[in-house]
């Protein structure tokens, strides 16, 4: 009579080992899959600015009250418009004829990105910096209360 019990015990041990092996195999697959996810999440997220030809320029974004600009038009704070720093705007004797007027830039910041039209010159801005309408600033930098944020931008 001892023989059948030992057979049952042997069968139980074999099944138990098989279950443990399957559990370890599926857990090891999950760990491997998690590593793959982490590996992919470390890649730099491509943004639209990466797809636009030209150099990426960097500087500080500030905001201003839009109004009459050096390109000869009057704009509002709700429009997606920017003023380019004086060194890069290159205003001639008649800034209304500036080739940058009414061209577009693509701006990214800490909170988002957007396309905006060039309508003015920022005389106090350093090279690489832009003065943004409040509408652009909110999209790119967030709350107006912070006053400025790091930006990257390109001429389109």
Asked if residue 90 is part of any domain, the answer here is yes
Q: What is the pLDDT of residue 93?
A: 77
Asked if residue 151 is part of any domain, the answer here is yes
The range of the structural domain enclosing residue 144 comes to 48-155
- Cα→Cα distances 70→63, 77, 88, 99, 100, Å: 16, 16, 14, 12, 11
Q: What is the pLDDT of residue 91?
A: 77
* pTM assigned to the model: 0.67
Q: How many domains does the chain have?
A: 1
Q: What is the pLDDT of residue 35?
A: 47
Asked if residue 18 is part of any domain, the answer here is no
Asked if residue 43 is part of any domain, the answer here is no
Asked if residue 92 is part of any domain, the answer here is yes
Question: If DSSP states are collapsed to H, E and C, what string results for 56-96?
Answer: CEEEEEEECCCCECCCCCECCCCCCEEEEEHHHHCCCCCHH
Asked if residue 121 is part of any domain, the answer here is yes
Asked if residue 7 is part of any domain, the answer here is no
Q: Which residues contact 40 (CB under 8 A, 6 or more apart)?
A: none
The domain that contains 54 carries what CATH number? Answer: 2.40.40.10
- For the chain, which ranges sit under pLDDT 70? 1-7, 10-13, 15-19, 21-52
Asked if residue 127 is part of any domain, the answer here is yes
Q: Quote the DSSP letter at residue 105.
A: E
Which helix (H) or strand (E) segment is 35 a member of? helix 2-41
């Amino acid at each position: 009579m001892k023989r059948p019990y030992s057979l049952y015990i042997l069968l139980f041990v074999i099944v138990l080992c098989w279950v443990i092996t399957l559990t370890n195999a599926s857990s090891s697959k999950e760990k491997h899959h998690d590593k793959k996810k982490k590996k992919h999440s470390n890649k730099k997220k491509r943004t639209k600015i990466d797809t636009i030809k030209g150099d990426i320029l960097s500087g500080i974004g500030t905001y201003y009250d839009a109004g009459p600009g050096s390109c000869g038009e009057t704009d509002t704070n709700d429009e997606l418009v920017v003023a380019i720093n004086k060194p890069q705007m290159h205003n001639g004797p008649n800034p209304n004829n500036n080739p940058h007027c009414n061209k577009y830039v693509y701006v990214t910041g800490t909170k988002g990105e957007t396309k905006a039209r060039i309508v003015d010159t920022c005389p106090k801005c350093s090279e690489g910096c832009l003065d943004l309408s409040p509408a652009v600033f909110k999209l790119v930098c967030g709350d107006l209360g912070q006053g400025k944020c790091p930006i990257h931008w390109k001429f389109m």
